[in-house]
Amino acid sequence: MRKIKDVAVIGCGRFGYQVAITLSQVGVDVIAIDAQEELVNKLSNEVTYAVCADVTQENVLAEIGVGNCDVAVVGIGERSEATIMATLACKELGIPLIIAKAKNESVAKVLRKIGATQVVIPERDQATRLALSLVSNNMSEIIELSSSHSVMDITCPASWVGKSLKDLEVRPKYGVTIIGIIRNGQYMISPHADEVFEERDHLFALGDNKALTRLSKELR
Task: Write the secondary structure of 174-191 as one string of H (helix), E (strand) and C (coil).
Answer: HCCEEEEEEECCEEEECC
pLDDT of the chain, 220 residues: tens digit per residue: 346 789 999 999 888 888 888 888 778 899 999 999 999 999 999 999 999 999 989 999 999 999 999 999 998 867 788 999 999 999 999 999 999 988 888 888 999 998 899 888 876 555 455 454 444 555 556 666 666 777 788 889 899 999 999 999 998 999 999 988 989 888 787 888 999 999 989 898 888 888 887 887 777 6
What is d(CA 10, CA 32) in angstroms, rounded to the nearest whole number?
A: 6
CB atoms within 10 A of CB 127: 11
- Residue 188 is predicted with a pLDDT of 84
Q: Tell me which H or E stretch contains 132.
A: helix 122-134
Whole-number pLDDT of residue 28: 86
Predicted local distance difference test score (pLDDT) of residue 130: 45
Element (H, E) at 129: helix 122-134
Which residues is 60 bridged to in the sheet? none
Full-model pTM = 0.59
Structural domains present in the chain: 6-120 (3.40.50.720), 125-218 (3.30.70.1450)
- Closest to 16 (Cα-Cα) out of 123, 100, 79, 84: 100
Task: Order across the sheet with 97-101: list the strands.
Answer: 49-52, 29-34, 6-10, 71-74, 97-101, 118-120
Q: Cβ distance 218 to 174 under 8 Å?
A: yes
pLDDT for the residue numbered 86: 94
